[in-house]
Amino acid sequence: MIESVPIKWPEPPDTQPARALRTQAAPVAQAPPERSEAALRFEQLLWAEMLSHAGLEKSFTQSGGEGASAFARYIVEEIARDLAQSHPLGLGAKIDEVAARQRAAAPAPGNS
């Protein structure tokens, strides 16, 4: 018969430092700069094309017939809009930056 030997587990580490970290306020993340409607729409279209190219639109239409085919593009575009808002690629910000530089360089109306 095999004798059972009691197992001595190591003592848990002191958890006080971890608790102190959890109670400290997390730094507030800065909100991303506002993007223009054109920049948001550009990124939405870019996301929609990438999703379509990856096969998402085709996967919605595989077994749905004509009805699914008619609405698959709208579904992909809505997913793309959500992605453009929550995960911007940064290209829209570049569009806004270039547009702002062009507005600054253009003469003011009435000044020739």
pLDDT in tens, 69-100: 778 889 999 999 999 999 888 888 888 888 88
The pLDDT assigned to 48 comes to 94
Cα separations in angstroms, 89 against 33, 36, 51, 71, 96: 13, 14, 14, 26, 13
Helix (H, G, I), strand (E, B) or coil at 25: coil
Separation of alpha carbons 58 and 48, rounded Å:
13
Q: How far is CA 49 from CA 38, 55, 96, in A?
A: 17, 10, 21
Rounded CA separation 74/32 (Å): 27
Please tell me the pTM assigned to this model. Answer: 0.59
18-33: pLDDT as tens digits: 555 555 555 544 445 5
